[in-house]
Amino acid sequence: MQGILLLRFGVILVLLLGLGAALPAAAGAAPDVGLVTQVAGEAVFVNPEEGGKGGKVQAFMKIRRGDRLTLSAGASVTLVYFANSRKEFWQGPVEVTVEEGQGAGRGKDGAPVHPQVSTLPT
């Protein structure tokens, strides 16, 4: 009987410790600020604030503050921001850093690059 109780206690303890470890990671994640609505060509992203996680940019993926999108020459993405319905069309080569309501772009030479901007109807 005591063995079963200790086993149950051990299982519960392991589950609670696992949950406790997962919560700070989820709580520390930046909130979603927008959405990729269109992508063409080679485009990748990384979020340095979230441990460098990243991958290939895909249509309908959410974007977070701090994401860095790198577009190769000839690539393009369209981003829509939730807070202000801002729609940005970016063409590569460019690195776009996602901010709260807009992106900040830099060319290969470090010079600022600006997207085509429009506002979606609300």
pLDDT band at 27 (very low <50, low <70, confident <90, very high): low
pLDDT reading at 23 higher than 60:
no
Do 9 and 58 have their domain in common?
Answer: no
Phi and psi, residue 29, nearest 5°: -70, 135
- Contacts of residue 108, defined as CB under 8 A and 6 or more positions apart, other chains included, come to 93
Do 21 and 44 have their domain in common?
Answer: no
Do 2 and 43 have their domain in common?
Answer: no
Q: How far apart are CA 97 and CA 82, in angstroms?
A: 16
Do 85 and 52 have their domain in common?
Answer: yes
Nearest to 71 by CA among 87, 57, 51: 57
pLDDT computed for residue 104 by the predictor:
98
Do 100 and 66 have their domain in common?
Answer: yes
Do 46 and 98 have their domain in common?
Answer: yes
Do 93 and 41 have their domain in common?
Answer: yes
As a whole number, the mean pLDDT across the chain is 83
Q: What is the pLDDT of residues 33-64, one digit of tens each?
A: 999 999 999 999 998 887 888 999 999 999 99
Q: How far is C-alpha 105 from the geometric centre of its chain's CA atoms?
A: 16
Do 97 and 72 have their domain in common?
Answer: yes
pLDDT reading at 95 higher than 50:
yes
Do 76 and 45 have their domain in common?
Answer: yes
Domain span including residue 81:
31-119
* Total domains, the chain: 2
pLDDT computed for residue 53 by the predictor:
83
